[in-house]
Amino acid sequence: MGPVGLVEPRSRRQPFAAVQLRQDDAEGRLYNMVGFQTKMTHPEQRRVFRMIPGLDRAEFVRLGSLHRNTYVNAPDLLLPSLQVAARRSLFLAGQIVGVEGYVESAAMGMLAGLNAVRLLRGEPMAVPPRTTALGSLLAYVTERGRKGFQPMNANYGLFPPLPRALRGREKKLALAERGLDDIRRWRDGLAGVASGAASVA
């Protein structure tokens, strides 16, 4: 709900917070309030949400609740190839791996599928470089000995540090460029081993 970059047109001031409403039906009568997973009681939710400018007369069709993710204890059970360590013909994909989010879950599915094919072909398992978003997330999730494991999103904090200290946008650009260079090399290496069969563009 961070209001960064938004200016309230009438007052020309940055608001304290911004609520994103995602249209949920074709007629534009239902809107999902993004980020309102809360333990507050239903009457309290109705009271507090109606204090938001523009929502004083809103009708609430469904109220917020916390959702529960089902995931394995990946640091104990999974290899970075997404194989179950105790049974290497079994791969896990999606958020059950211990990642969160659409892109992260789909990326785990892509890698599990790629490695299942490679296993059947007798090729070495593909593990993306640590310097990439996929590789750093996977390294975090499968790092042995992590206690109290909780699912994780891809984020800049998981990347290994850069050789020189940079800050802000410069740092993010340098991390992205390093990751792109490394994933291209990794992809070309895989394509070489699999004689063009494995494409991960």
Ligand X SMILES: Cc1cc2nc3c(=O)[nH]c(=O)nc-3n(C[C@H](O)[C@H](O)[C@H](O)COP(=O)(O)OP(=O)(O)OC[C@H]3O[C@@H](n4cnc5c(N)ncnc54)[C@H](O)[C@@H]3O)c2cc1C
Residues that bind ligand X (CB under 6 A): 67, 94-95, 100-102, 105
- Please give the angle made by the CA atoms of 109, 104 and 23, to the nearest 5 degrees: 110
Choose between 24 and 44: whose C-beta lies nearer to ligand X.
Answer: 24
Q: At what angle do helices 168-193 and 133-142 cross, to 10 degrees?
A: 80
Choose between 97 and 139: whose C-beta lies nearer to ligand X.
Answer: 97
Q: Report yes or no: 114 and 126 within 8 Å, Cβ to Cβ.
A: yes
Strand partners, 21: 33
Q: Write down the least CB distance from residue 93 to ligand X, Å.
A: 7
Choose between 7 and 34: whose C-beta lies nearer to ligand X.
Answer: 34
Q: How far apart, in Å, are the Cα atoms of 195 and each of 106, 121, 180?
A: 25, 12, 22
Looking at residue 54, the DSSP 8-state letter turns out to be T
Q: Write down the least CB distance from residue 61 to ligand X, Å.
A: 14
Q: How far apart, in Å, are the Cα atoms of 151 and each of 98, 101, 119, 148, 160?
A: 4, 10, 27, 10, 19
* Closest residue by beta carbon to ligand X: 94
Choose between 107 and 183: whose C-beta lies nearer to ligand X.
Answer: 107
Q: Write down the least CB distance from residue 105 to ligand X, Å.
A: 3
Q: Write down the least CB distance from residue 108 to ligand X, Å.
A: 7
